């Protein structure tokens, strides 16, 4: 038996959006320093911000100011998250062409998150995709609570598949599955990825939270099932490490370490991610969840000076 892994994967850094959205807003200068550090890691895709209500998500209130700076790094594929056609218009006007739109697969989460049923949220895929396509861009639909909903319990796989299939019909150019509360596990990952890909006829990305220590195992299962689009957050940012049950995305540095050491190219420099994580930790003012951020990569050998114990 040999692990069947792809030669390379494409990681999207979501720390600036999913990572920071629950934090107290940080200053624009600090955010731009983090952005520069993330760009320096070599990551090719970065979700920069969200065009959503600044009352609901104060940490994203600077979305236009952030957008105005991104021309400095033209080789990165920048994207923004939106929650409505109005948000899509704002993001496009700010210069984004790549948008992520979240559709929850369960009404409980959809109502809590955007005040609409999942069917109503799904229907908005069409006008959002149309706006994006008018500007020559691409619209990715992220299916949230794809495996489990905190309000409704397990999401029937057929419902996630249906949402993904209809989103594609309504104009989505890409799909991703979100494990919003960090409950899924390798077998469920493989089963759902395969079912969605087969029904929607599109490649499927994955967006895991590492709430129960299974995030990297889920990635390993996903890449074995052919997934090459993976979201991750520098430092495992997201949620609050002091709140019971809260947790962030899988940590970019742990993902890069696990994959690169297994022969899967990510194009990302591990040491540079650790530099970025240091900036993030300083900016948010609390320890990050990432174990690798604390431990570092493979340590340099200590040598044996003074080691010859009796």
Residues labelled catalytic: 240
| d(C-alpha 105, C-alpha 162), whole Å | 9
Two tokens, residue 297: 């990569």
Distance CA 13, CA 70 (A): 15
- Please report whether residue 115 would count as binding a second copy according to CB under 8 A: yes
Within 260-279, the residues that bind a second copy by CB under 8 A are 261-263
Q: Does 86 bind a second copy (CB under 8 A)?
A: no
Our CB check for a second copy shows the closer of 66 and 146 to be 146
Structure token pair of residue 19: 């990572």
Sole window of 8-16, 62-70, 88-96, 284-292 interacting with a second copy (rule: CB under 8 A):
284-292
CA 279/CA 235 separation, integer angstroms: 10
Q: Is 127 in the site for a second copy (CB under 8 A)?
A: no
Binding a second copy by CB under 8 A: which of 151, 198, 265, 271?
A: 151
User: H or E element: which one contains 49?
Assistant: strand 45-51
Q: Which stretch binds a second copy (CB under 8 A): 47-55, 78-86, 106-114, 137-145?
A: 106-114
Nearest-approach distance from CB 66 to a second copy, in angstroms: 27
Touching a second copy, residues 158-217 (CB under 8 A): 181-188, 190, 194, 210-217
**Among 148, 161, 165, 284, which residue sits at the site for a second copy (rule: CB under 8 A)?**
148
Q: Which is nearer to a second copy, 39 or 256 (CB)?
A: 256
Binding mask 223-242 for a second copy (x = CB under 8 A): -xxx---------x------
Ordered alpha helix ranges (H), the chain: 28-39, 63-69, 85-93, 107-114, 118-123, 125-134, 157-169, 186-200, 215-224, 252-260, 270-284, 291-295
Report in angstroms the alpha-carbon separations of 248 from 76, 179, 262, 282. Answer: 24, 11, 24, 17
**Mapping DSSP to helix (H, G, I), strand (E, B) and coil, where does residue 212 land?**
coil
Residue 54 binds a second copy, judged by CB under 8 A? no
């Amino acid at each position: 038996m040999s692990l069947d892994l792809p030669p390379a994967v494409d990681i999207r850094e979501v720390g600036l959006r999913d990572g920071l959205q629950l934090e107290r807003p940080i200053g624009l200068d600090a955010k731009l320093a983090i952005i520069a550090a993330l760009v320096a890691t070599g990551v090719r895709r970065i979700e920069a911000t969200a065009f959503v209500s600044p009352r609901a998500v104060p940490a994203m209130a600077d979305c236009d100011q952030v957008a105005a700076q991104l021309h400095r790094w033209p080789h990165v594929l920048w994207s923004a998250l939106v929650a409505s056609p109005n948000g899509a218009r704002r993001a496009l006007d700010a210069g984004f062409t790549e948008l992520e739109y979240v559709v929850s697969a369960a009404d409980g989460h959809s109502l809590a998150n955007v005040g609409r049923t999942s069917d109503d949220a799904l229907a908005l895929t069409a006008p959002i995709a149309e706006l994006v396509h008018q500007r020559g861009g691409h619209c990715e639909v992220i299916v949230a609570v794809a495996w489990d909903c905190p309000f409704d319990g397990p999401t029937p796989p057929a419902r996630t598949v249906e949402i993904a299939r209809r989103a594609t019909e309504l104009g989505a150019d890409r799909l991703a599955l979100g494990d919003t509360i960090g409950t899924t596990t390798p077998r469920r990952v493989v089963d759902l990825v395969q079912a969605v890909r087969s029904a929607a006829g599109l490649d499927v990305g994955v967006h895991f939270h590492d709430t129960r220590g299974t995030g990297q195992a889920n990635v390993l299962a996903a890449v074995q099932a052919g997934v090459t689009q993976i979201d991750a957050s520098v430092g495992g940012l997201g949620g609050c490490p002091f709140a019971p049950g809260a947790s962030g995305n899988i940590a970019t540095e742990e993902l890069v370490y696990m994959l690169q050491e297994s022969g899967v190219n990510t194009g990302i420099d591990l040491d540079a991610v650790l530099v970025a994580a240091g900036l993030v930790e300083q900016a948010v003012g609390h320890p990050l969840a990432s174990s690798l951020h604390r431990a570092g990569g493979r340590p340099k050998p200590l040598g044996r000076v003074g080691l010859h114990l009796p």
